[in-house]
Amino acid sequence: MSTVALGFLPKPLMISVDNILPSVKLDAGVAGTHKYRQIRDSIAEIGLIEPLVVTAVDRKTAKHFMLDGHLRLQAMKEQGFFFFFFIVTSYYEIYTYNNR
């Protein structure tokens, strides 16, 4: 019987926002959008529901590459959070995460 490799580390890691490299640049006006305000208000009211996803730490930069959750990250930074729990993927495939 073969085993299936996990796609993520078994437990989320608490990582400083200073150690995250975004994979997309958010538009300057994103904070004024309805979607962003919904995310921001939801986080303020009940906390983070869907974890942020990053790659394993890059040995050259000592940073993680952000795969999913850019709006949530921005909203949490706006609210004064500097450390977050991230799901760390053990397998990096660019087409796996909300790539449109």
Q: pLDDT digit string (tens) for 7-35?
A: 888 898 999 999 999 989 999 999 999 99
What is the C-alpha separation between 14 and 86, in angstroms, rounded?
A: 6
For the segment 55-96, what is each residue's pLDDT rounded down to a tens digit?
A: 988 889 899 999 999 999 999 999 999 998 999 987 665 545
The amino acid that residue 37 corresponds to is R
pLDDT band at 5 (very low <50, low <70, confident <90, very high): confident
**What does pTM read for this prediction?**
0.80
For 45, the enclosing helix (H) or strand (E) is: helix 34-46
The pLDDT score that the predictor gives to residue 90 is: 77
